Amino acid sequence: MQSRINKIFKAIADPTRREIFHVLVLATTALSITQIAGQFNISRQGITKHIMLLHDAGMLEIESIGREKYCQANLSALNEIRDWLAFYDKFWDESLKNLQDFLDTKNS
């Protein structure tokens, strides 16, 4: 099985999916699949596939009401990306130190 972070990275790798997520974040209310599809120049089925992928990555929640499915962005999924990034924070200092050493050498 695929890891969570891998699913998320795969999900946001596609610009259309990023835009779907974006639209859902901006929307004040949850949107049905056809409502979302209406915003794109792609068939409803195409959009459905993207939505399922996003959902699978935990980036949006889906609530069925009658025949409709309402989607809403799950912002907390972004924390997984933040965590992934956080690991590299500790190397940032070192990188700056290397730069400082370089500048020191130049001025001596």
Contact footprint for a second copy (CB under 8 A) = 6, 9-10, 12-13, 15, 18, 25, 75, 78, 81-82, 85, 88, 91-92, 95
Q: Stretches 22-30, 68-76, 78-86, 90-98: which one binds DNA (CB under 7 A)?
A: 68-76
Chain position carrying tokens 């997984």: 80
67 phi/psi in degrees, rounded to 5: -85, -5
3-state secondary structure at position 51: helix
**Could you tell me which residues come within 8 angstroms of residue 94 by beta carbon, excluding any fewer than 6 positions away?**
none
Check residue 7 for interaction with DNA (CB under 7 A).
no
Check residue 55 for interaction with DNA (CB under 7 A).
no
Check residue 67 for interaction with DNA (CB under 7 A).
yes
